[in-house]
């Protein structure tokens, strides 16, 4: 069986903030990640160790990128659009995977809202932003490209 590594540069966040079924890359990211947490109930007693899955299940995407401004028809979701969605508490569709998936590639998708948003403007550096996208109803859908 052959194996192929997935390049982090090709694995991006895509969002449909305006709900028109067109997914655009999220700004110019330097990092993005997906976290999935199933809390644990500790039922350990003098009768022995026992753990069960909690009903609390949370998932989120995190990212950091360069703040970009676009003129004309946007090809990416800029940090201004992300902040507007955050301030309006907008829920929207998001995907993480390859921009152009090929057979066997995995994509995670679902509905999110932006829980945390920050802009950093360090001296002698380009302006950067960070955002956390919380999945409204976990779990995300995991799709393998046919």
Residue range 9-46, pLDDT digits in tens: 989 999 999 999 999 999 889 999 999 999 999 999 99
Burial of 125 (0-12, 13-18, 19+ CB in 10 A): exposed
Contacts of 2 (CB under 8 A, 6+ apart): none
pLDDT, one tens digit per residue, over 120-143 is: 999 999 999 999 999 999 999 999
For the CA atoms of 132, 28, 6, 22, what is the dihedral angle to 10 degrees? 80
Element (H, E) at 85: helix 79-87
Using DSSP, state whether 77 is helix, strand or coil. strand
Check whether the bond before 139 is cis (ω within 30° of 0).
yes
Report pLDDT for 1: 62
Tracing tokens 């309006």 back to the chain, one arrives at: 88
Output the pTM of the full model: 0.89
Q: How far apart are CA 26 and CA 39, in angstroms?
A: 29
pLDDT, one tens digit per residue, over 48-88 is: 999 999 999 999 999 999 988 777 777 788 888 999 999 99
């Amino acid at each position: 069986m052959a194996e192929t590594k997935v390049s982090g540069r090709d694995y991006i966040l895509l969002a449909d903030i305006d709900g028109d079924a067109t997914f655009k890359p999220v700004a110019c990211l330097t990092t993005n990640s997906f976290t999935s947490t199933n809390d644990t109930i500790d039922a350990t007693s003098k009768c022995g160790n026992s753990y069960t899955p909690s009903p609390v299940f949370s998932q989120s995407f995190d990212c950091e990128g360069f703040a970009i401004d676009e003129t004309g028809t946007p090809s990416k979701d800029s940090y201004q659009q992300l902040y507007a969605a955050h301030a309006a508490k907008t829920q929207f569709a998001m995907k993480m995977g390859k921009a152009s998936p090929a057979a066997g590639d995995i994509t995670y998708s679902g509905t999110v809202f932006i829980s945390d948003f920050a802009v950093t403007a360090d001296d002698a550096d380009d302006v950067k932003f960070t955002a956390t996208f919380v999945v409204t109803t976990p779990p995300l859908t995991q799709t393998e490209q046919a």
